[in-house]
Structure 1
């Protein structure tokens, strides 16, 4: 399974273009990635149009300190959990609030909760 579908990639690139153009955006997360055998979760909203391997979103590595930032999709794809399982896309995830709301809730809870 691909970490990001073509439709998600197109949406994330459009969000990245808007952000790169200086627009103050707070989009809904487009994709949720997770480690099925560890506690890492990523809610990603955009891809850098100049380097589409770089994504922006809310990152939670399971250490009770989720933060907003940039990550490389290729690095996420190389991660394996405790049992050696790869990162996967949550095919059932559907965002219902903007990234800032998920970030605030994650700060309060110490983890991403969806």
Structure 2
């Protein structure tokens, strides 16, 4: 998974542990860590990985032609995706400047627009 750095993996795992603790209190702290894109129009806004299974990521998923939805995806599955030109999933550089809203807020916006749209406050 050369598209996902060790630092991002660690950040996703830390977020997963924090979310597991919040779940025990019936709270949410699912702030997105990164956005992954695929040139075919698919995108994933990842918030965490499961502490018991670090290959399982949680976030907002939008597969081209489908409806954006909250759910889980395996990082190894993302790493294996390629478009017709052989280009794989990559990190969205625009996400670094986006607002860190709860992933459910992004899901609400995606339900209206039909796509994952990053939010920026200037």
Same fold (TM over 0.5): yes
**TM-score of the two chains, using structure 2 as the length reference:** 0.82
Give the counterpart of 2:103 among 88, 99, 105: 99
Q: Which runs of 5+ in 1 are unaligned?
A: none
Query: For residues 19 and 40 of structure 1, what CA distance do their matches in structure 2 show?
Result: 25
Calculate the aligned-residue CA RMSD, in Å.
1.7
Cα pair 1:62 1:111 within 8 Å, conserved:
no
1:108 aligns with 2:112: yes
Q: Aligned residue for 2:20?
A: 20
Query: For residues 61 and 19 of structure 1, what CA distance do their matches in structure 2 show?
Result: 25
Q: 1:92 to 1:2 in 2, by over 3 A?
A: farther
1:35 aligns with 2:42: no
Cα pair 1:26 1:100 within 8 Å, conserved:
no
Equivalenced residue count is: 113
Q: Aligned residue for 1:9?
A: 9
Q: Which runs of 5+ in 2 are unaligned?
A: none
Cα pair 2:19 2:30 within 8 Å, conserved:
no
Query: For residues 41 and 86 of structure 1, what CA distance do their matches in structure 2 show?
Result: 12
**TM-score of the two chains, using structure 1 as the length reference:** 0.87
1:7-48 per-residue CA deviation (whole Å, 9 max, x = no partner) reads: 222221112112223252233210111112x01100000011
The structure showing larger relative contact order (alpha-carbon pairs under 8 Å, at least 6 residues apart) is 1
